[in-house]
Structure 1
């Protein structure tokens, strides 16, 4: 009787865990990635609910409280917990709204760069050799320039604004998606399921977007996470140089630029935006490492 029950137990198939549970199991093995995810989620929620969380309008000026220190320092009050800047604007409100601008920049840049890069990479992966060579040499030319310098030159041509900064950063990041997508496509094209689809009469668009592309998404997702942090850093750098968001926009890089002359008199006006950039970018990079570990089958441990 025991042998019969054990035989039945062996023949009953075990239920495979869902893809999300399997992904989370590998992702959660990286503690740094989990911490980065929760920090990223917290900053994201702050950005979404900025209007509710910020105690003041980010552009409101309280001139009688200009350069007031944070509450824990002598002269600070709970009325302005993180102090004020040179125009009497509340630092906490500006940092909270700055998170919204940073996330907006990251999302727009990643969507634009990834969409264009994936499309061009797919074309290069399936194109004849001469067209593939032309596309990749153009990408190599773009990559030969320092990314920030090229973005700065593009913004100088288009004109300083947050929109033009996002366009410039997206164009600079696009070659990374092109190269990554093309390499993945070339690797997948020789596999049996692609050859079977070709034999079955699948057209080129179906072969590109429905057969090959879904199997190339894992490294692209990791690249998107890392590009998100790069976009925030580049936008802050352009804002610091006066070529990105323009005052009085509460963007973290612009806040750093406005605070340069007060670095010795009022440390908080330059330290707090810098810490906001540091924490956000670090959390995204940690999360990107976890995504790489969870999505790359070569790194998964049984």
Structure 2
């Protein structure tokens, strides 16, 4: 769909549908940046503070999406999107819809088709920060779908944070969302497990956090991943400085230490099993990054 040229960000009205904690943060950030903001929520009482600040509470979702050239939807999932906007068919011609709930790439493709059938300009999106950081220039927001839709509303979306356009495939935003959240949970679990392990000897979490987060991770993990990322694309895993066999030995020691200290050992056992799988696949002499081949080739099995 052909989009109208974007208007100056401070003058462009925006609608926000869904006023959970994130929806409230979106609307507040837009208002802070000078956007006339219309809001709608199934429970109107949630809009009370926004209305007191000057937001307009729409009497219906149809009225809400008709009020602005851009509607941001921040609901639980794709089913909630269809439930809320299905009866009104989405925004009318010349207006755009940006969906900011989480889900799967397959669901994002279905939503893009749903929008296209109704003549709606559609972007799928993902918010990669908690509500208090919405509006910060460094907060990352991901978008995927037609480039012309993103470009038409780039200035408005920039009011929320650092807008990253990922490509025309509408599933890319939720795919990155799942990948980054998976990284977050794995990192959090790694820290929490490590803290529990040293905590078995009475080491305070605050003391260990300084060593682990401020010293160890930036030097040993972060720098290594950035430096070695091109080797993942090339499938190049030289074991000059340490092989998978050596790493399996270390993982075995971690698991045994957890068992000895009475700390949950399921997590290191899983990591040990993954390394063993990589060795079984012929990567015993490679470095630990060859585990990447186990992950990306799982579907082939």
TM exceeding 0.5: no
Q: Which has the higher contact order (CA 8 A, sep 6+)?
A: 1
Q: Based on CA coordinates, which of the two structures has the bigger radius of gyration?
A: 1
User: Normalized per residue, which structure has more strand?
Assistant: 2
User: Normalized per residue, which structure has more helix?
Assistant: 1
TM range (shorter): under 0.3
